[in-house]
């Protein structure tokens, strides 16, 4: 029996709507990061290579023969335990986000990502060339919890929310699971074997409502429409706060529609 698999990537807040500053995070590749980028916040996918220093949460990822170091932000005492709990093996695909910086590895400095978080340990979905018949959704792939990203250099920390939004008093994992439970794979997409990643953006407003849902990168009109439909129907969140006042926060939310 062919199985239908929805894989939802975890959320990461990339822009706070504080009137003083809005930080944009760019999607790019490891190769582009090494060859052309000089400054900013970036989100990349790469294969885990090895850990240089567990106490510093310093490791490396690679893609297309390019390797960069990544150093996780240590916001609390549990950061090291969460990193260890991932039980990373060489070749594991990771989605990471951080600030472009020069990181020291073995007394040499290399371009890499500092103040980073691992947004997801991506489970590889096997592609198929022919789809005969697809039944109702039977499997849901869990996603890793996302930690808040906070820039620590050259930016006034007051421009970032003190607390991030909460969904149903839970973390972003709870929202991912809620979205997954509401998705219906469009019939036309199933019949034509259409699959891929729909990348959305949406804003959790000051009153906790989800607004301004947009398709940043679509796959097919039927998949794009379904992703927008579900996120637009989200119940209210508990909004982010800054200096004790509610503020709006914009998220990116990639959704992978996969046929298996």
Contact by Cβ (8 Å): 141, 123: yes
Residue 223 phi, psi dihedral angles, 5° rounding: -70, -40
The confidence score (pLDDT) of residue 231 equals 92
How far, rounded to the nearest angstrom, does the alpha carbon of residue 145 sit from its chain's CA centroid?
10
Which DSSP string corresponds to 32-99? HHHHT--SSEEEEEEEEEEEEEGGGTEEEEEETTEEEEEEE---STTHHHHHHHT---TT-EEEEEEE
In sign, the C-alpha dihedral spanning 114, 119, 121, 126 is negative
Q: What is the pLDDT of residue 148?
A: 37
CB-CB neighbours of 69 under 10 Å: 23
d(CA 58, CA 72): 7
The two three-digit tokens of residue 6, written as one number: 């929805």
Q: Which residues of the chain have pLDDT under 50?
A: 1-23, 125-159
Give me the helices (H) in the chain, please.
30-35, 79-85, 172-182, 187-191, 221-232
Q: Global pTM?
A: 0.43
Strand pairing report for 25-27 and 196-204: unpaired
| C-alpha to C-alpha distance for 65 and 254, rounded to whole angstroms | 25
Please give the DSSP secondary-structure letter assigned to residue 105.
E
Provide φ and ψ at 138, rounded to 5°: -120, -20
Place of tokens 């097919």: 220
The two structure tokens encoding residue 146: 């996302």
Q: Is residue 240 a contact partner of residue 105, using CB atoms and an 8 Å limit?
A: no
Q: Are 110 and 103 in contact (CB under 8 A)?
A: yes
Q: What is the DSSP letter of 243?
A: T
Asked whether the beta carbons of 199 and 254 are under 8 A apart, the reply is yes
What domains can you pick out in the chain, each with its CATH number? 1-22+125-260 (no CATH), 24-122 (2.40.50.200)
């Amino acid at each position: 029996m062919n199985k239908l698999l929805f894989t939802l990537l975890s959320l990461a807040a990339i822009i706070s709507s504080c009137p003083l500053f809005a930080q944009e995070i760019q999607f790019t590749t490891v190769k582009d990061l090494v060859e052309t980028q000089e400054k900013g916040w970036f989100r990349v996918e790469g294969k885990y290579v090895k850990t240089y220093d567990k106490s510093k949460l310093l490791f490396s990822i690679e893609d297309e023969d390019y390797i960069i170091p990544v150093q996780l932000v240590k916001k609390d005492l549990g950061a090291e335990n969460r990193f260890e709990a991932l039980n990373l093996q060489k070749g594991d695909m990771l989605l990471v986000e951080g600030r472009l910086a020069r990181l020291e590895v073995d007394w040499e400095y290399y371009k890499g990502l500092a103040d980073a978080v691992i947004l997801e340990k991506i489970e590889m979905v096997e592609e198929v060339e022919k789809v005969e018949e697809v039944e109702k959704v039977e499997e849901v792939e869990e996603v890793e919890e996302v930690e808040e990203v906070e820039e620590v250099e050259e930016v006034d920390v007051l421009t970032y929310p003190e607390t991030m939004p909460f969904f149903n008093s839970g973390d972003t994992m709870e929202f991912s699971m809620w979205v997954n439970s509401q998705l219906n794979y469009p019939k036309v997409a199933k019949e034509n074997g259409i699959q891929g990643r729909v990348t959305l953006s949406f804003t959790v407003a000051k009153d906790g409502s989800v607004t301004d849902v947009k398709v940043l990168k679509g796959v097919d009109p039927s998949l794009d429409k379904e992703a927008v439909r579900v996120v637009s129907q989200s119940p209210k969140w508990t909004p982010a706060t800054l200096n004790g006042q509610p503020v709006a926060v914009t998220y990116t939310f990639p959704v992978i529609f996969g046929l298996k």
